[in-house]
Amino acid sequence: MHAYVSCRFSAAFSNLKNSEFYKESEDALELFLNDDSAGVAAKPNTTKSNAVLVSPKQRGNLLLKSICNVPWEYMEIIPDYVMGKTTCALFLSLRYHNLNPDYINERLKLLGKQYELRVLLVQVDIKDPHHALKNLVRICILADLTLMLAWSAEEAGKIIETYKMYENKPPDLIMERMDRLSSPHQRLVSVLTSIRSINRTDATTLLSTFGSLERLLRASPETLALCPGLGPSKAARLHKVLHQPFLRDRRSTARKLCFSKLVIHLMESVRTTLVHPARILDCESDALDHQRGSIG
């Protein structure tokens, strides 16, 4: 899987050096690539460690009105904004970029290799931004910049504010919480409860009654209705969700494959190999995740 992704990435950027934008981006970044004196991340002296530092050149920028939850102050700095000891941002309006295409190149020359997290905050304020954004994406790749897009000054201000607010936050705050989904059984319960009217008690009862997702899929609506607390209505709805075709368009000539047949086929296939039972449960829950997405 990793090799496939790497192959696709390499193919997508294989002609980067031959593009019309590479030469000008390469010239603009010559100082960045060769300046060893700027190799250490900048650590500006701040009067307030909890304040966003703003370059005086940004005075009058409407995004400053949207920075309400963290303090900010003007200071002579190379980037436009400093949101932490190793985090900075350059602000660029696409309208201004179209009028002055060399502006961002000059700013990058001055910035050099300073700061570890370098954000290019772009305000999209033109009708057709695609050509300009393609150019900026190439520049960001070469200059090790993180491209952030905002469609208004208010949104741009909130991006700066959020970077500052999360400066000292642990990464688990923005990571997927897996505590409730730590085991395959819990994952199956979580997926089953995504079906309307099926609660956690129903899901637990179904799995304990049938023992596996495969047996659950083979059950008829009448058999499902015999489970305590389920009833005919829930059983009919559950059976319909598990057996309806993936393809919604009835006019399609493609073969319609329902979820239950897919999972049963997978289960029959894995029986011929030595697979850990937990892995089979993972396959079952992954397939049910796919079905949930197809009906969402």
Domain ranges of the chain: 21-169, 184-295
For the domain covering 21-169, report its CATH number: 3.40.50.10130
Alpha helices in 226-276 (DSSP H): 231-243, 259-270
> Each residue of 18-40: pLDDT tens digit?
665 555 555 555 555 455 444 44
Residue 170 pLDDT: 75
Q: In what order do the strands lie in the sheet with 87-93?
A: 72-74, 52-54, 81-84, 87-93, 117-123, 146-150
Grade residue 91 by pLDDT with cuts at 50, 70 and 90. Answer: very high
Alpha-carbon separation of residue 85 from 34, 36, 105, 200 (angstroms): 23, 20, 23, 46
CA 241, CA 263: separation in Å to the nearest integer?
A: 14
pTM of the predicted protein model: 0.49
> Each residue of 151-199: pLDDT tens digit?
999 999 999 998 888 888 777 766 666 555 567 778 888 878 888 788 8
- CATH number (3.40.50.150, 1.10.3720.10, 3.20.20.70, 1.10.150.20) of 184-295 reads 1.10.150.20
CA 77, CA 107: separation in Å to the nearest integer?
A: 12
